Structure 1
């Protein structure tokens, strides 16, 4: 990421940090733990079957990004991309995610 000029986020979970990869939810559960958040209070954006299954199994709120269609997408909200998305602090605590329609 540094080589591409992308700043590292506060938490990074890589394949070396987990014993099982997607579709196992271990990576997402580890990330939630490192962030000090209950997985049910996390939103995960995914675009592929294995990632969607891992995210759903973690207990997080899951949003499909893009046009992938499959069993793992059933009943999940979807956005085409991140263009126009905003994140703001909610007065009652937490954050509000807004996506253009």
Structure 2
């Protein structure tokens, strides 16, 4: 699931010829093999757990400040996006470790 800003950044990187080893949105999405969600009873707190290819789990969360504004689909989307954002750091670390060892 790419955001418009990710697509814009990718286009700019390609235009500028910045193509040395790096992480891109397709790589991030390729790490995700499953997702599950949980909303705590009586709350607006939504937790997303993403399962990655290597079996590692990453979590993201969302909560509506006002219960009247709670929408389960929106909560799931925000929690997913928050979990997915964490994968960038993890994958960046892995790539940097590989580059440092080369």
Same fold (TM over 0.5): no
Q: Which has the bigger relative contact order, CA under 8 A and spacing at least 6?
A: 2
CA radius of gyration, larger in:
2
By percentage of residues, which structure has more helix?
Answer: 2
